[in-house]
Each structure stands twice: as structure tokens, then as C-alpha cells.
Amino acid sequence: MSVVALSRTVEPLLSVQHLTIGIPSSGGGHATLVRDVSFEVGPGVRYGLVGESGSGKSMTLKAIAGLLPRGVEVLEGEIHFDGDDVLTMSPHERRRIMGPRMAMIFQEPMTALNPTTRVGKQIAEGPRRHLGLSKADAQELAVDMIRRTGIPDPARRARAYPHELSGGLRQRIMIAMALSCKPALVLCDEPTTALDVTVQDQVLRLLAQLCDDMGSALTFVTHDLAVVSQTCSRLSVMYAGRIMEEGNVREVYEAPQHPYTEALFQSAPDFDDPGRRLAPIPGLPPSLTDPPPGCPFAPRCQYAIESCSTGSKPLVEVRHRHLSACDLADQIFGGTR
Amino acid sequence: MNRKLVSMVTVGALAVSGAALSGCASSSTKSGGASKSAGAPVHGGNLTIARAQDAKSMNNILTFDNSSIFIFEQIMEPLFTVTADGKATKPLLATGYKVSADKKTYTINLRKGVKFSTGKEMTSADVKFSIDQDTKHASTGWGFINSAIQQVQAAGKYTVVIKLKHAWAPLIADLALFSNAIVPNNYDGKTMAEFYQAPVGTGPFKWGQWKRGEYLKLVANTGYWQKGKPYLDSVTWNVVPDSNTRKLQVQGGQADIDEYPDWSTFKSLGTGSNVIAKTFPSTELDYLAFNEKKKPFQDVHVRRAISAMIDRSAINKAVLFGNGTPANSLLMPGVPFYQKSTPGIMKNDALAKKELAASSVPKGFSTTLLIPSGDASKLSTAQIIQNDLQQYNIKVTIKQLDPTANHNAQQNMQYDMGLSAWTMDIPDPDEWTSFAIDPDGGAKSAYTNYRSAEAIKLNRQAQQSVDHSTRAELYNQLQDVVAHDAPFAFLYYAPYAYGVSDKVQNFNVTPLGNYPLTDVWKSK
Amino acid sequence: MTTFSLTHRFRPSRREARPAARRLRPWYQNRSLVAGLVIVCIMVLLAVLAPVLAPYNPIKQNLNEALQGPSGAHWLGTDKLGRDVLSRLLYGARVDLRIGFLAVIIPFVVGTILGAIAGYFGGWLDIIIMRIVDVFYAFPLFLLVIALVFVLGPGESSIYLAIALVSWVSYCKIVRGEVIVARQQEYVQAARLGGLNNARVLGRHIGPNVISQAITYAMSDIVMDIMVIVTLGYLGLGITPPTAEWGSMIADAQEFITTLWWMAVVPGVAVVITGLGLSLIGDGLTDLLSPERRK
Amino acid sequence: MLSRLKFVPMRLLQAVPVAFGVTLVVFFMVHLIPGNPAESILGAQATPAKVAALTDQMGLNQPVVQQYWHFLSNLAHGNLGESYTYQVPVLTLVWQRAPVTLLLVAYSVVLMLIISIPLSMLAASRPGHVRDHAVRVIPLVGLGMPQFWVGVMLLLVFAVGTGWFPVGGYGDTMMDHLWYLFLPALTLAISISPVIIRSLRASMLNVLESDYVATARSKGAGGRSLFAGHVLRNAIIPAVSIVGVNLGYLVGGTLVIEKVFAIPGLGSMLIESIFARDFPSVQAVALFVAVFVVLVGVLTDVVYTLLDPRVDLTQRMNA
């Protein structure tokens, strides 16, 4: 699937090209979790990866961070960060950029922190290793970072152990940790899913504001359409390991160009129109070991026609910097604006 | 636990009265171990002896275990001592003695100028105190050996007169026992317990240091009355419970003498370039005792049959690896009055069948064999006997108890057959004969309940007869009677075994098991 | 279309489904379990077929062929009394496997029950049981064994009782720890809320999840029991002769270690192989019975 | 959160019933075994009359309960009585031999850690790899071989063969002790390592798959710093309780090693005094081991809470 050369405004910070991830099982067909995914994130840009569970969004993020679980490998594609392909880097080189250039925030705050070490020390670890700070300076930086995340009495909190903090506080600590070395790109793997709604909102605001302060770009993986709309400026909608639609958040929300995106919106409640009946998407996502030919959403798509289940269904720019993998996009969603 | 624990040197409680003794009986065991003398003795050096068990106490009057006796014999010396062949006595701290006509008064002259390690000279007062102390502890110690003594007087500074209750030939042999060793009068003012924490004697070595369970060290007594001796600077006994480790220590040079090698590795001990596997003639008899209180062992035919079933040469080969000799009599070759021609029962299938047929259980029976646990030789011997008896449909179950429980079971006659051993303490047979065949000798005939009027009569006569040749005749008859009645099945005479480094010269062990270190020296 | 506010959203499962590799594989695909079972079955087979396989009678002595090395007639040589080592090894398997497996049952049952009670009910019951456990933990094993060897006479019975009296403690501690952890899990609280009485909760809900650790420990416990017998043999308190048994064979060979060092190795290898089989089974079971403790 | 200062005395109080329980059981157990110290002291060739006389003299004919009461009242005054074998206060014997066994056990724990940690890391870093199976299987050989065989083999090779180490013994200075006790401690370590390796490897695998290790990796931690700082610190926790549990057992169980290497420790003293029916010595050793086991228990709990802040002492109180 070839990528349509988008008009480039500035050198992209992160460029994912034809990424394919799978589990090379010795037995029969190996499962492909992510197939031929490409996208770019410019410096300071906040980019969202949206999709249901099993859509491969989290696996893509882990591939970028180099944290793929055992047994899962990148089969094809390149991931360029700051111009170099991280996949070809040696583990040593890779470790040198993790922290100062690229950082990550995980989903489960309850287990993401080392239970046996004080949180202050865990935040200070990155700066000490990468910025060569002394123990005292690094501890001081950690306390400062905690203060910037809005946690009261940061000096005392720095001496606390993870199990002594609430989920929300711990996620703030994670943010402080990730941003302690002022990374160029922060990868977030559903950072607020485990939090309850009120805390979630504060954390998202904090994350956005800190990223702006530090000029860090964001790659935000979530299943929550509302979270994306609040946090990101540009997004991709993924389904069964492939990108269905990519575009600016405002444009995609107002005029989705792919039946799956539209179905997603249908199945989510709408604050402005509380009376609307929710329409769940019929059927099940395709199996990963033998994906259906053509468009993976065809079997569940209300507009599906014969040709949908054949062909490679590449991402095509149907509107200005707004791509869709559906051949019938124009017919279904009307002409260009 | 090891073989020594069982055959420890202890003495029966019976008072001994008998004719004067002499050491003319010939000794038939192969005497080995006279080490080649390698030039003039060299002074200095520490002799390290690796042993299986630690000593228990230095109190020569109340202590019975070999580990302790071998040590305090180097510190405290008696008036007389045993000759190298263990058959007779010779003067040590005494120079000689005269006996009165009625044989009830002995006048003993002391050696002059003998000093204790504290520098104080030994006089008759010390001798009187030492012997009286021993006599006082008859019930719980060795004192019973002096039961015939009426009174001990310090006649002059260097002469002691001993009055007896009745004629008592073995007196001099008794005075040679370590319990009659000479200690300072009144223990130099200390209590008995305090004195024996660091005993003082006239011997070649004096007290050094004792870390219980680890090592005990004696240092040379520079003021020893035999000038120029001892050759060694010090002697250290290290406690090394594992036989393999002892062997490796001697081979590795970390120890000079292995006090108790296993028979199984004894021969290979000698193959090492620097170690000699030495055997010394002993007074040890290993025997199978029958408890006549339990059926069918009151039947002499059963006992004779079983005795004839046991393949003694096989035991000697498999257990002692050929180092022992099959036993044919109650007495041992190293003991006066041993009769080589005693017709002890040996392996004889025809006799076994005949006796079994004539017995009360011709078709065989089931019984148990009691042995102390942790003793490899006894375990193997028991399994061989079990196998031999199996051929005649006598089913034997081996029962192992730890040594103390085993001894307790014997004393209370709660066993059928049992493996035991005996070693002599003084060069006179009576100590063992009374213990073994006299039911009123205090040990119910070595716990067999054997009661033979003829044997008891012979033994009593032998005790009182003064004339040597009549005593010899009486003991011969006694040995014949016991051989016929077979209260025990005599198994083998086992020599003492030592692994000795080739650097150690003049190391000899007497048939009574002790080894004076006065003349021992180490070549570089 | 309007933007969506945060209050409206739907929640998928908490976590993305784990990759396929983690699904629960049927037991026969669990390599260590299968390897362990194969080894142990071979040993059991050898033990059962001992009368057929053994070339000689294990206790028949032949003194003029004593202490021979491996030869055509005696594949593994002969011992001090000329008995065939291979035959004794095969017959020895019977004794040791029997003792190993039987000696585990009593402590396993007693320990698990007491542990479950202590862990589940807590309070005074727990404190009393744990103090008793402490006493047994601090208890010198040999003193117990010697006393029992006399009271019951040497041989298997006293060894069974001695091992039982001492090793139930480990099971109690392990099970108690597991039960305490399980008691706080939601599925147990749910069961209790569902009106189940304590016995059913313990039996049906906590039991299965907790038993895996005890079974795994049981496997290594069997090996330890065999080693106890070996040590007892070394101290002369072992199985009554002339029964062929690995422990006594090793103890008998102890005399010859510096000269015929392989004599102790042969029965030792038998103990190791059995131990290996049992440990592999233990590992395999842990994987199967408690998936979240995946190795 | 129970403060450590309050915790230790409370746990020690818990030790009193345990120590009491042990002495009670040990006292009656030892008296249960036939044969009394008199028989052992007088040896096999002593006559029943002599045995009876000495038994009387040692006051062993009194009813057992009365003797136990006698023992308890002495204990209250801190007097454990005199050894029947050595006629020396038992306490001096224990004070002389206890450090030997404690040093041996501590030394073996150090060696065990030196063996177990690298091997476990090796196995956990590549699960399922040949290396992993090797590390799981080879130490089992150590578990299967009897201690005395391993001991003598080490002596044969490293003491007699190469002369690097002495053949048994304990030495005088501290340096001597470490040199003499190396082979015995190694033998002990070989026999306990398999259990620790299995636990350490399992917990390392769990930790490696945990989220906080992924976090650490995302901060650029890798290789040694990852293992030391994050993996080991969390993985060692279960191993601590296993070592704690076995440590107490070990002190009583070093008998075989002490016999093979001629080390004057508590283990050999225990078995000697049992065979000699030296009741005061057996009591003293049993009491010492009991107190030691409890102290180790308390120490393990404190170390446990130091390593794992999530666990507070009240939880460990009645662990």
C-alpha cells in the first residue's frame, strides 16, 4: 500500500512507514496484529491513535518504544525518529534515546511504578542517567517535576512509596517521570483509562499543558473518542490492525470519511442529543490469523458492496490532508467540501 | 560411633584374687608394627593424632573411655607399667618391691629424684594419697581393683608398704593400672574437680589446652625424670569423626597418626607414599552372645549348631579384610594362659546339621540379632551371620539400636542374640573370665545367663591358686568347657589398626590398647 | 455533528486481549510435566518389574566376589558382601519410591487442612496452630527419629512417623500463606456473600487454587524424604539390613568413597533422576494449576 | 504501621512459648529413649551394679516430672546445668560451638547467593532457552546427592588433590575459619541452592514481565542497571522468606557436614549428646536452636519489610 505524499509543512519528528507486526508462530499461519500502518507526527503535534480493543493501536505504540512483548516481532516497515530508523538501532543506542528524546506513560498506574522504591527516586533515575545530574540535583528536579504536576507538598510526596498514593496521583507521578528529561515525543498508552472520569479530566489537562510548556509531541493511544477530541489535533482510526481513516480531529468528527468511523460515532452516546438510540456495530472483528481479503470492515459494513471485499484498499486523500481507506468514501459521504 | 565405643576398656566389678602372675605364655598373633629405626632420634616437632571421638575427662579414677585414658596416661604415671608384649609388668616410678613370706605385705621402693611437672618432688606421701583416692571410688570408678588392699603406709620418704587382706597375686598388675597413677598429695590443695581440669603428673607430657570437641594439646614436660625425653615438643589429638577425612588428613600430612582407620580402607591407606598401615596384636575378642533366658538358646545343641554354621574366615575376609584371625577360645592370644589348642567350634556343616537335628528345633526357627548402629564392621558381620543361618532355615532379623540403647537392652536381657566385643585392661585373664562365665560375677555371664557349675568351679580355683602351672591347667580346662558349652560363638580376634605417617618413629601400641609416647619421635 | 463531552462514553474490557501465546495449553503440551511423568513412570516401572529385570537375588551374598567393579556378570559391580549392585538398585527403587510417596501423604493432608484452617479463620486458632508450627520447626529432627526408632523399632514405620511429624509444618505454612492471599481475592468474598458456608467456600473455591503450591512442594518433599533416609543410613539409623534400599546403599558405600568412589554415585544417580522427575512434575503442575503464576 | 521498635520485642515474646514448648518436648523425648547417661559414661563393659550406682549418684532415678521441674527452676536462674560427658557447664560448650555453626551457615548463605543470583539471572533473561533448562536441571543434581558424598569429593579434589584447602578442621584465627570453612560452606550451599534458584528464577520471570520493568526500560534502563536496580530488588523478596525458613532448619541440620569436615559445631554436639544421653547438652542445643530459629524468623520479617514496603509488620506479626 503506498503512502500518498502529504504536503509537508515541517520535518516530521516521528515517521512510521508500512509497519507490520505479528507473532511468527512455528505452527501454521502466523497472526498479524498490525498490517502496513504508516503515519507521521510533527514536533509539538498531539497525534491520536483510536480504535477498539485488538485494533493493534497499543502494539504499534509498543513497537515505537521498543517494548514489544516476548514472541511479538516487527515483520516489516520502518520507524524513523529524529531521522534515524529506531528498528535498526542497537539496544545501547535505543536506550540512549529512551528518556531524553522519547518517553512513555502506561495505562495501569497501580503496577507501572516499582513497588519497592520511593517515587522521587524513580523520577530522578532518568535525569541522573541521561542528564548526568548528581543525586541531590536529580532529587531536586524530581520534586520540582512533582510540583509542576500540581501535587501538593511535593517534597513529602517524593518520599512516598507507590502503594501509598492513589491512582490519579500515581499517574501524575508517571507524567512527571516521563517529562523529567523534556522528551521530544511522549507515547501514551491509554493513560487515563484506569482513572475515574473526574481525575481523568484533570490528568489530561495537565498532560496537554505540560507538553505545550516543553514543546513535546504526543502520540496518544485510546479507545475513547471523547478523550481524543479533547487532547489531540490529528488522529488515525484503526481497525483490525489497519488505519481506516486519518485526518484532523475536527474534520474527522464533523465529516467522517469511512463507514467504520461513522459507525463508531453512532455507537457512542451524544451529550447534545441524549435521545438518540445507540446503534451497536453488528458482528465481530476479524480473526488475526486469516484476515478477510479487501476491506476488513466489509463484513460488518452497512454500505458494503461486492468490490469492497477485493483489492488492497489503500489510504487515499479524499479531502485536504484527510485520508480514508474506503473506495466508496466519495459516494457515501458526498463530494469534497 | 565406632567400633571402639563398644569394645571400650572397662573392668568387671568382681574382686580379683589369684596366684602371682607371670608372662611366660607365648603370643601367637603376628606382631607387626615395630617400625624400622631410622637413625638417632630427632628432638622436637608436634605429633598430631586424628581420632574419632573427643576425650571425656582427665579423671583417671572415674573415667572409662579409651579416648580419655590414652591422653591422661601420658601425664600421670603409675608405679609399675606393662611390658611391650602386654604380658608382664616392669617398674616405672618404683624401682622394685619385696613380698613378705605370707604374701600379704609388699614393700615398694620408689625412684628418687622424680619430679611432678610443677617441680615438686614425688614422695611416698603422694603415692599413699593416690592409691587411697583410687580405693575410695570403688562403686562408681576403678577403685574395686584395689579391693584386696588393707592399708597403704608411707614407711620412709622413698618407701611404701602395702598390707593386703589376703594373698593377692595380681597386686603389681593392679598398681600398673592408670587409675593407680601417682598424683600430688591432696591434689596440691585443689578440689578433685579443679585438679582434673588441668591434671599434674610425673609423666613425659603436661597439660596444654583442651577445646572440647575440637582438639586437646599436651606439651612436653621438660623436667621429666627420664632425661632427654620426651623427644616431641607437644602432642595434639584432633577430633575428626569421619573415617575418610582422617585417612585423607594422614595422607595429606595434616595429621601424623589416624587412631582409628576403617578396615575397608585400611589396606589402601598404606598405598599412599608416606603412610604405613600398622596392625598391633590386641586382646580384642569379638563374639556372638546367646541369651539363654530366651527360647531356644537354653538348648546347648542350638548354640553349638549356630556356632558351627558361622563362616568365620568369610567374616575375617569381608569385614577385617584378612587382618584378623578366627577365634577359637574364650581367651585371647595376647592374654596369659591362652590355650592355642582350645577346640573352639569352627564352620562345620556336618556338625551343624548333627547338632540341629539333635536340638529342640530341628526344623529351624525365627530370632533377632541385636547390634549397635553406626558400626560398619558389626553391620557386615551381622548380615553374614544372617545369611549363614538362613541356609539352615533359621530366619534372623537384624535389629540396630544406638550404642547406649543397645547396651541397655543387653543389660536387661531384652535380646535373643547380640554382637559384642571385649578388650583387657590388665594382663590377667580373671577380669574377663569372671565377667563372662560367672553368673554372680556382676554381669550374669556377659548377659547370657550361662550357668555351668564346672566352669564356675574351675574359674574360682584359678583365681585362688598361686602356683603358675596349676593356674595354667585350670584355665585350659575352663577354655575347653566353655568351648564345648558354646555360651558364645567366638568370631574373631581383631588386631589394633593405626595409620601412621612414615615420619613417626617408635610408635607402639600394647595389647591392652594404650600407646606410651615417651619414646616416639618424628623424623623431618 | 457535535463534539462529545467526556460524560458520554462506553468502556471496553480493561485490557487488550493478550497475544495468543498465553492461552492455557492442555496438559500434554506442558513439556516439563510430560518429561517429569516419563521419568517417574520409568522408575516406577523398573521398581515393579524388579523381580523380572534383576539378574540376581538382591540379598544373596557371594563373599569371594565382593567389591568388584562393573563387569559382564555384574553390570554395576558388587558391594562389600558380594551382592549385585544392579539388582539391589532395582529392588531399592521399590522401597524408596514407596517410602517417598507414602511418607508425603500424611503431612500433605494434615498440613494442608491445618494450614487452610489457620489461614481462613485466623484469630486464636491461627495463633495456636502457628505456635505449634514454630515448635516443630525448631525441633531437632534427629532427636525425634532416634526416639521413634526405639519406640517403634528401626525400619520404615518409625521413618514414616518421624517424617510425618516434622514435614507437615512446611505444608501448613505454605497453604496458610496461600489461603490468606486467596481470602482477600474478590472471588472468595463473592462466594461468601453468595451465602456459601465456610466449609464450601474453603473446599470448592479456595482449595483448588491453593493446592497447587502444596502439590509442587510435595514433589520436592519426596526427594527430601529419600535424603532423610540416606542421612539416617549414614548415622546407622536407616532401614534394617539386608533390605536393598538406596539410602543404605549410599551409606554402606560411604566407607569406600576414597577408594571406590563410584559405589556411592550409582545409587546417588538413581536418587537424582527420581528427584529430577519429581521436580519437573512439580514445575509442570505449577504452570497448569495456577496460570497467573506463569513461568 | 507497627514500628519496628515495638515489633521486635513483641515477636520475641512470642518466642517464649515456642522455646518453652521445645524444651518440654525435647526433655521428655530424650528421657523416652532407653539407656541413661550412666550407661553411656561407663561404657559397654560396665556391670549393671556399677551403672545403678552412678545413676543414683547423678539423681537420674527421680521421676521424670521432678527432673523436669528441677531443670526449669535451674533454667529460670539461667543455669542450664553441667554436661554429663564433659562435667563442664553446658553454656560454655554451646558458646564455644554455636559461633562455629552460625559462621558455617552464614558463610553457606553467602556462597549460595553468589551461586544462585547469577544463575537465576542467566535463566530468567532467556526463558525457554537451553540456558534456562540447564539452570533448572543441573542444581537438582546438588539436591539429589547426599551431603557427605559431595563433601568427601570436594575434599578429594580440592584438599588432597590440589592442596588448596585443608582436609577438615576449623583453624584458630578468623582468616583460618574462612579458609577452613570454605569447602563445608560450599557443600551446604550446593544442597540448598536448587530451592533458592527455582524460586528466584520464577520470581525474576514474573518481575521481568511486570509493568514497572517496562517503565524502567522506557526510561532507558537496561542490562545491569535494570537487573540490579529493579529486577533483583523485587525478585529477591520471596527468596528471603525461603532462606529464613530454611536457616533455622540448617543450624540443626549441619550435622553431616560437621562430621565429614571435622567441624566442632552444634550439629555434632547435638548428635553426640543424644547418643551419650547427655540430657543437659541436648536441652541446651535444642533451646539454642529454638531461640535461633525464632530470632531468624524475626530477622526475616524485618528484612522482609525493609525490602517490600507494601508489607507492614502487623501482617507479618502472625505470619
Asked whether residue D317 is assigned to any structural domain, the reply reads: yes
Asked whether residue D157 is assigned to any structural domain, the reply reads: yes
Task: Say whether both D55 and D136 belong to one domain.
Answer: no
**CA dist B515 to B82, B117, B219, B257, B280, Å?**
11, 20, 17, 12, 11
Judged against a pLDDT cut of 70, whether residue B15 lies above it is answered with no
pLDDT of residue C21: 38
Task: Decide if C8 and A268 are in contact by the 8 Å CB cutoff.
Answer: yes
Using CA coordinates, name the residue in chain D closest to A103: D218
User: Could you tell me which residues of chain D have a Cβ less than 8 Å from any Cβ in chain A?
Assistant: 127, 209-212, 214-222, 225, 229-230, 233-234, 237, 307-310
Contact (Cβ atoms closer than 8 angstroms) between residue A98 and residue A65: yes
C145 pairs with which residues across the strands?
Answer: none
Q: How far apart are CA D54 and CA D59, in angstroms?
A: 9
Considering only the beta carbons, identify the residue of D214, D307, D309 that sits closest to A67: D214
Task: Decide if A272 and C2 are in contact by the 8 Å CB cutoff.
Answer: yes
Task: Decide if D215 and A91 are in contact by the 8 Å CB cutoff.
Answer: no
pLDDT of residue A237: 92
Three-state SS at A22: strand
Task: Say whether both D48 and D157 belong to one domain.
Answer: no
pLDDT tens-digit profile of B38-49? 578 889 899 999
Residue D35 near chain B (CB below 8 Å): yes
pLDDT tens-digit profile of A4-18? 445 455 678 899 999
Local confidence band at C141 (pLDDT 50, 70, 90 cut-offs): low
pLDDT of residue D287: 84
Cα dihedral B180, B181, B186, B192 sign: negative
pLDDT of residue C159: 81
Task: Say whether both D125 and D197 belong to one domain.
Answer: yes
pLDDT of residue B485: 93
User: What average pLDDT does range B468-476 have in this prediction?
Assistant: 90
> B75-106 as b/e, with b when 16 or more CB fall inside 10 Å?
bbbbbbbbeebbbbbebbbbeebebeeebbbb
pLDDT of residue A10: 65
First to last CA, chain C: 50
Residue A271 near chain C (CB below 8 Å): yes
Task: Decide if D219 and A129 are in contact by the 8 Å CB cutoff.
Answer: yes
Considering only the beta carbons, identify the residue of A52, A107, A265 that sits closest to C1: A265
pLDDT of residue B111: 93
Q: Which residues of B touch D34 (CB under 8 A)?
A: 404-405, 408-409
Judged against a pLDDT cut of 80, whether residue C287 lies above it is answered with no
Task: Decide if C8 and A269 are in contact by the 8 Å CB cutoff.
Answer: yes
**A96 min Cα distance to partner chain D (Å):** 6
Q: What percentage of chain B has pLDDT greater than the value 90?
A: 59
More confident residue, D227 or B358: B358
Judged against a pLDDT cut of 70, whether residue C1 lies above it is answered with no
Q: Which residues of B touch C81 (CB under 8 A)?
A: 318, 380, 383-384, 387
Task: Say whether both D110 and D259 belong to one domain.
Answer: yes
pLDDT tens-digit profile of A184-228? 999 999 888 888 888 888 888 888 898 888 889 999 999 888 888
pLDDT tens-digit profile of B409-444? 888 899 999 999 998 888 888 888 988 998 887 788
Q: What's the CATH number where D168 sits?
A: 1.10.3720.10
User: What average pLDDT does range C42-55 have in this prediction?
Assistant: 91
Task: Decide if D97 and B57 are in contact by the 8 Å CB cutoff.
Answer: no
Q: How far apart are CA D69 and CA D79, in angstroms?
A: 13
User: What average pLDDT does range C7-11 have in this prediction?
Assistant: 34
Query: Which domains are present in chain A?
Result: 2-101+181-271+292-336 (3.40.50.300)
pLDDT of residue A28: 59
DSSP B59: -
Q: Which residues of A touch D233 (CB under 8 A)?
A: 114, 116-117
pTM, whole model, 2 decimals? 0.81
Task: Decide if D97 and B213 are in contact by the 8 Å CB cutoff.
Answer: yes
Local confidence band at D42 (pLDDT 50, 70, 90 cut-offs): confident
What's the domain range around D215?
95-266
Reference D293, options B272, A232, C140; nearest CA is C140
Reference A36, options A74, A70, A6, A68; nearest CA is A74
Task: Say whether both D49 and D143 belong to one domain.
Answer: no
Task: Decide if B5 and D264 are in contact by the 8 Å CB cutoff.
Answer: no
A26 contact partners, CB below 8 Å, separation of at least 6: none
B39 contact partners, CB below 8 Å, separation of at least 6: B523
Asked whether residue D271 is assigned to any structural domain, the reply reads: no
Q: How far apart are CA D176 and CA D171, in angstroms?
A: 5
Task: Say whether both D102 and D230 belong to one domain.
Answer: yes
Local confidence band at C165 (pLDDT 50, 70, 90 cut-offs): confident
Task: Decide if D275 and B1 are in contact by the 8 Å CB cutoff.
Answer: yes
Contact (Cβ atoms closer than 8 angstroms) between residue B281 and residue B495: yes
Most confident of A249-263, B208-222, C265-279: B208-222
pLDDT of residue A140: 92
- Chains sharing 3 or more CB pairs under 8 A with chain C: A, B, D
Local confidence band at B21 (pLDDT 50, 70, 90 cut-offs): very low
Asked whether residue D222 is assigned to any structural domain, the reply reads: yes
C128 pairs with which residues across the strands?
Answer: none
**D71 min Cα distance to partner chain B (Å):** 22
What is the number of structural domains in chain D?
Answer: 2
Q: How far apart are CA B132 and CA B140, in angstroms?
A: 15
Local confidence band at D313 (pLDDT 50, 70, 90 cut-offs): low
Mean of the per-residue pLDDT values for chain B? Answer: 86
Q: Can chain D be said to touch chain A, i.e. do they have 3 or more Cβ pairs within 8 angstroms?
A: yes
Q: Which residues of C touch D34 (CB under 8 A)?
A: 150
Query: What phi-psi label fits residue A294: left (phi over 0), alpha (psi between -120 and 50 degrees) or beta?
Result: left
Judged against a pLDDT cut of 50, whether residue A273 lies above it is answered with yes
Task: Say whether both D169 and D249 belong to one domain.
Answer: yes
Q: Can chain A be said to touch chain B, i.e. do they have 3 or more Cβ pairs within 8 angstroms?
A: no
Residue D260 near chain B (CB below 8 Å): yes
D32 contact partners, CB below 8 Å, separation of at least 6: C147, C150, C151
Contact (Cβ atoms closer than 8 angstroms) between residue B373 and residue B367: no
Judged against a pLDDT cut of 90, whether residue A100 lies above it is answered with no
Judged against a pLDDT cut of 80, whether residue B465 lies above it is answered with no
Q: Which residues of D touch B443 (CB under 8 A)?
A: 47-48
Most confident of A7-11, B351-355, D80-84, D278-282: B351-355
pLDDT tens-digit profile of B327-371? 999 999 888 889 999 999 999 999 999 999 999 999 989 999 999
pLDDT of residue C6: 35
pLDDT tens-digit profile of C212-223? 778 878 887 887
Local confidence band at C290 (pLDDT 50, 70, 90 cut-offs): low
Domain ranges of chain C: 40-102+242-295, 103-240
pLDDT of residue C150: 64
Reference B6, options B289, B280, B372; nearest CA is B372
User: What average pLDDT does range A77-90 have in this prediction?
Assistant: 88
Judged against a pLDDT cut of 50, whether residue B16 lies above it is answered with no
Residue D43 near chain B (CB below 8 Å): yes
Task: Say whether both D76 and D104 belong to one domain.
Answer: no
Mean of the per-residue pLDDT values for chain A? Answer: 85
Mutate to test the interface with C, among D10, D36, D149, D195 (most CBs of C within 10 A): D149
pLDDT of residue A2: 41
pLDDT tens-digit profile of B2-11? 233 333 333 3
**B249 min Cα distance to partner chain D (Å):** 6
Q: Cell numbers of A38, please?
A: 504508516
Local confidence band at C295 (pLDDT 50, 70, 90 cut-offs): very low
pLDDT of residue B34: 43
H-helix segments, B24-92 = 66-75
User: Could you tell me which residues of chain C have a Cβ less than 8 Å from any Cβ in chain A?
Assistant: 1-10, 12-17, 19-21
pLDDT of residue B17: 37
Judged against a pLDDT cut of 50, whether residue B14 lies above it is answered with no
**D313 min Cα distance to partner chain B (Å):** 41
Asked whether residue D90 is assigned to any structural domain, the reply reads: no
User: What average pLDDT does range C144-172 have in this prediction?
Assistant: 78
pLDDT tens-digit profile of D111-147? 999 999 999 888 888 877 888 888 877 887 777 677 8
**CA dist D134 to C40, D124, D192, Å?**
19, 12, 17
When mean pLDDT is compared across A125-129, B461-465, D85-89, D203-207, the lowest value belongs to: B461-465
pLDDT tens-digit profile of C179-197? 887 777 777 777 777 777 7
